[in-house]
Amino acid sequence: MPTLVEQIVYVSDMFGTAVFAFSGVLVAGRLRMDAFGVMVLAAVTAIGGGTIRDMILGATPVFWVRDPIYILVIITTALFGMSIAKLPRRLPWYVLPVADAFGLALFTVIGAQKALSFGTSGLIAVIMGTMTGVAGGMIRDVLAREVPMVLQKEIYATACILGGILYTVALEMNMDRVSAMLISMTAVFGLRVAAIYWHLSLPTFSLQRQ
């Protein structure tokens, strides 16, 4: 029987999956893709990072094969997204970015914890947490023929790295898992929302031509 915390994490994970899937739907809609294209972008955005993580860790079958509810959430989100795409009233601009920030925070922690459960070092856990949070969006952007957002000046992957470090350090200090999770998620969510609100970004690198 799952504990209350595990149930909350699971429900939150489904929410994050739906949010990431919806961002894939928006990109597909902007590119005027057909229904199959919408489903593909929704799926790779929502579960792409976790799939790569599980394959690297050897956690097979990967999580969505063992629990097909993830696929049902993605399909439902894609159908819902396509059905409301032509409605005149849209959500306030900040709703999706804030929800995305929450999903990013949760995915980071889930990825880091899964890596640690396989006996990896803290460094690998941070990488796996970051990959869980950002790799799906990178695949989505590549399929959409765009430079992935996380490779530009957006404070996105940086927030995941910070969250992963805080989570692993907190556990190393013998902090309980729930407290470590809350600290990590608060840091990722707070940094990402602050970056959105104050338009914070990382410095860019460019080669100057003579």
Mean of the per-residue pLDDT values of the chain: 93
> What value, to the nearest 5°, has the Cα angle with vertex 74 and ends 67 and 105?
80
pLDDT of residue 181: 97
Question: Please, what is the Cα angle at 95 between 91 and 98, to 5 degrees?
Answer: 165
Q: Which of 4-8, 25-29, 62-66, 146-150 has the highest mean pLDDT?
A: 62-66
Q: For position 87, what pLDDT does the model report? A: 67
Residues pairing with 201 in the sheet: 154
Q: Return the ∠ at Cα 180 (arms to 73 and 183), rounded to 5°.
A: 85
Domain ranges of the chain: 4-198
Q: Could you report how far apart the first and last alpha carbons of the chain are, in Å?
A: 66
Q: What is the pTM of this model?
A: 0.94
49-108: per-residue pLDDT in tens? 999 999 999 999 999 999 999 999 999 999 999 998 766 667 788 888 999 999 999 999
Which of 201, 19, 7, 199 has its CA nearest to residue 104?
19
| Residue 183 CA to its chain's centroid (Å) | 17
